[in-house]
Amino acid sequence: MFRPSAVVLALFAACPTLQGCAFHSTAREWNGLVGPDGEPTHLRSSTNVGLNLFVVFTIFGSTDTGGMVDEITGEIAAEGGDRVRIIQSASENYWYGFPPLTWILTPVVTTVAADYVPANEVPESEPAENPVARDDDGDDE
């Protein structure tokens, strides 16, 4: 029979070998639309689930926003992206989940989302010519 103290001890012994879970996604398809500056834009989102000890001390996983920004910009730079705009960041500390257990081992979820212009990317459906020609006064004729 397992005693609770043996299970907790086994969990703490396994903690140094564990790493935080990370989830990444990139949106590349925009139905032929481009960003505000006329270039194709990609959206990358990264979420990291980590664990803190006593609410504030990181055990594993990148639980701070600065580390996540460094990680996501490194991935974008590896793809050749040169212009990045962070559009969302959030860090949720779930100390209130199941007290007092989560006061000792606290799950933390950190999310960063950025849009960027990839290097040498051409939109798939560039219009060959403007279907509606406009003259100087803005009429359609």
What whole-number distance in Å separates Cα of residue 61 and Cα of residue 49?
Answer: 6
CA-based nearest residue to 83, from 125, 37, 122, 126: 37
DSSP letter assigned to residue 30? -
**Stated pTM of the model:** 0.68
Tens of pLDDT, residue by residue over 71-100, are: 999 999 998 888 899 999 999 999 999 989
CA nearest to 20, candidates 58, 76, 75: 58
Strands 21-27 and 42-53: antiparallel
| pLDDT on residue 85 | 92
- Cβ neighbour number for residue 114 with a 10 Å cutoff: 21
Task: Look at residue 7 in the predicted model and tell me its pLDDT.
Answer: 58
Residue 126: pLDDT over 80: no
Q: Which residue do the tokens 């139905």 mark?
A: 31
pLDDT in tens, 6-59: 655 565 666 555 567 888 899 988 888 888 888 888 999 999 999 999 999 998
Question: Is the pLDDT confidence value at 134 over 50?
Answer: no
